[in-house]
Amino acid sequence: MPEVVSRSFRLHCPPDTVDTLQDLLATIWAQTPHLDPADRMAAELSIVELAANVMEHANNGEPVSFTISIVVYDDRIEATATDEGVVDRVDLR
C-alpha cells in the first residue's frame, strides 16, 4: 500500500495564481505515481477550481492569502482551502 502524502501550500494572491498551484501540485503527483492519471486530472481540476473561487470571491476582490491542504490516500484525495477573506452577507433566498 502506498504511503499517505500530505502537503499544505500557502498562497498569496496576487502574486500567486492558479499556475503557481499547478506547479505545486506537480510536486505531489511526482510523489504519487500510483494514482490513475484520470483520477489525478479530475482532482487537479477540482483543486484548481477551488483555488480560483477563493482568489476571485474571497475578501471582496482584494488581495487574499489562503492555504490549500492536500492529502493523497491509497483510495482518495482530499483537498481543503482555508482563506482569511472577509465574511460577507449571503442571501440564499
Whole-number pLDDT of residue 86? 67
pTM for the model: 0.84
User: 59 lies in a domain?
Assistant: yes
> For the purposes of burial, counting CB atoms within 10 Å of the CB of 4, is it exposed (0-12), middle (13-18) or buried (19 or more)?
exposed
Residue 90, in any domain of the structure: no
88 found inside a domain:
no
**Count of structural domains within the chain:** 1
Determine, yes or no, domain membership for 37: yes
Question: Considering the domain boundaries, does residue 45 fall inside one?
Answer: yes
| Domain of residue 41, residue span | 5-83
Q: Which of 19-23, 51-55, 87-91 has the lowest mean pLDDT?
A: 87-91
Looking at the domain assignment, is residue 35 inside a domain?
yes
Q: Is 20 inside a domain boundary?
A: yes
**CA-closest candidate to residue 51, choices 62, 66, 33, 71:** 66
Q: Does 34 map to a domain?
A: yes
